[in-house]
Amino acid sequence: MVRCGIIGFGKMGKIRAHALEKSGRAQVVAVYDIVDIEDCPYPVMDSPESVIDADLDAVFVCTPNYQITPLVKESLKKGRHVFAEKPPGVSLEEAEAMRTCETEHSPYKLMFGFNHRHHGSIMKMKEIIDSGEMGKLLWMRGRYGKEVNNDFFKGWRTKKELAGGGILLDQGIHMLDLFRYFAKDFDEVKAFVSNLYWKLEGLEDNAFVILRNSETGVSASLHSTMTQWRYIFSLEVFLEEGALVLNGLKTSSGAYGDEDLAIKKNSKGTHDGNFDSEQRINYRIDHSWDSEINHFLDCIENDDRPALGNSDDAVEIMKLIDKIYKDSQYH
């Protein structure tokens, strides 16, 4: 049994605790949150440091963004494996610092919560793309949007010094990570970032981004928004012999609906607007949290580096975020 502590026992901390217990391979032995935790089934510590110093193997960092880097580094230095929520810090420099700390404190594992890679629909898309059964990847388009209510403005995400960025860093980063997952890196960036509606200082409410890999020619476009006035997740991947179209994403809130994946094949190469076949797969149950936790536990037990959400992924995604902000001249 892997003994785990959780720093930050809000929504994400509780989700991680449930997945850990459900795995049957780990137990939660210490938790901490800045607010009082009522009716907690786990031992409650009086500080983040007391969690890290407890008798445990791994620390889960489920805190506001600005706290992630110092807690990750301190946990690694104390000989703990670490799972941290995204984003990997509030800047490229912080992501690089965490990777350096991980290297200096091998063999302890560091993994970040790029949870979308673990959704069943995404796994299926990745399998098809990598197999080459529908030809080479040509381009991708992603839309990820939500609405916010008054409760949003009571939280830390509305403060630049705590969040580091707006909707791009909070939510769009997931879509960017999927672009990288399917097509590797992008070296060319064009972006327009704004906060025309909510006007939160230093926090964007919209980002329009175009990416290109100059070596492969693969391009991708992203619209990340918090003025959608509805929840939307849409990811389209076009290949030489068809398309993969995903609408919806099964989440804990249920706001984005089921995952509806359409696999449209055109092996004849006629390109006349018709498809030879179309398969529809609907994913009604979300197993992503369990998959992600088990991947992390596998890495600990087998002494393997995480294949998904490792510190290299963290640094590369923050490089991309950095390029987007710089191109848009927003930050």
Residue 71 domain-assigned (yes or no): yes
Quick check: 182 and 126 in contact, CB under 8 A? Answer: yes
Tokens linked to 122 = 């995404």
Instruction: Match 């670490």 to its residue by tokens.
Output: 82
Question: 92 with 201, same domain?
Answer: no
Report the alpha-carbon distance of residue 12 to residue 141 in Å, rounded: 28
Strands 206-212 and 219-225: antiparallel
Nearest to 63 by CA among 148, 2, 147, 5: 5
Residue 199 shares a structural domain with residue 295: no
CA distance 194 to 204: 5
8 Å CB contact between 244 and 262 = yes
- Whole-number pLDDT of residue 331: 61
Which value, to the nearest 10 degrees, does the dihedral of the CA atoms of residues 47, 51, 53, 56 take? 170
Per-residue model confidence as pLDDT tens digits over 223-238: 999 999 999 999 999 9
Q: How far apart are CA 266 and CA 316, in angstroms?
A: 34
- Same domain membership, residue 156 and residue 41: no
Same domain, 195 and 67: no
Listed residue (141, 195, 132) closest to 169, CA to CA:
195
pLDDT for 226 equals 96
User: Looking at residues 189-204, what average pLDDT do you find?
Assistant: 95
Within this chain, do residues 43 and 188 fall inside the same structural domain, yes or no?
A: no
Q: Are residues 44 and 88 in the same domain?
A: yes
How much of the chain exceeds pLDDT 90, in percent? Answer: 92
Mean pLDDT of 21-29: 98
264/159 same-domain check: yes
**Residue 320: pLDDT band with limits 50, 70, 90:** very high
- Counting the structural domains of the chain, the total is 2
Residues 129 and 234 grouped into a single domain: yes
Is the pLDDT higher at 267 or at 301? 301
Taking the CA of residue 295 as centre, how many other CA atoms within 13 Å lie in the half-sphere pointing to its CB?
22
Residue 24 has pLDDT above 90, yes or no: yes
Q: Are residues 65 and 193 in the same domain?
A: no
Residue 266 sits in a domain whose CATH number is 3.30.360.10
Residue 150 is predicted with a pLDDT of: 86
Q: Domain limits at 70?
A: 2-115+290-308
pTM of the complete model: 0.96
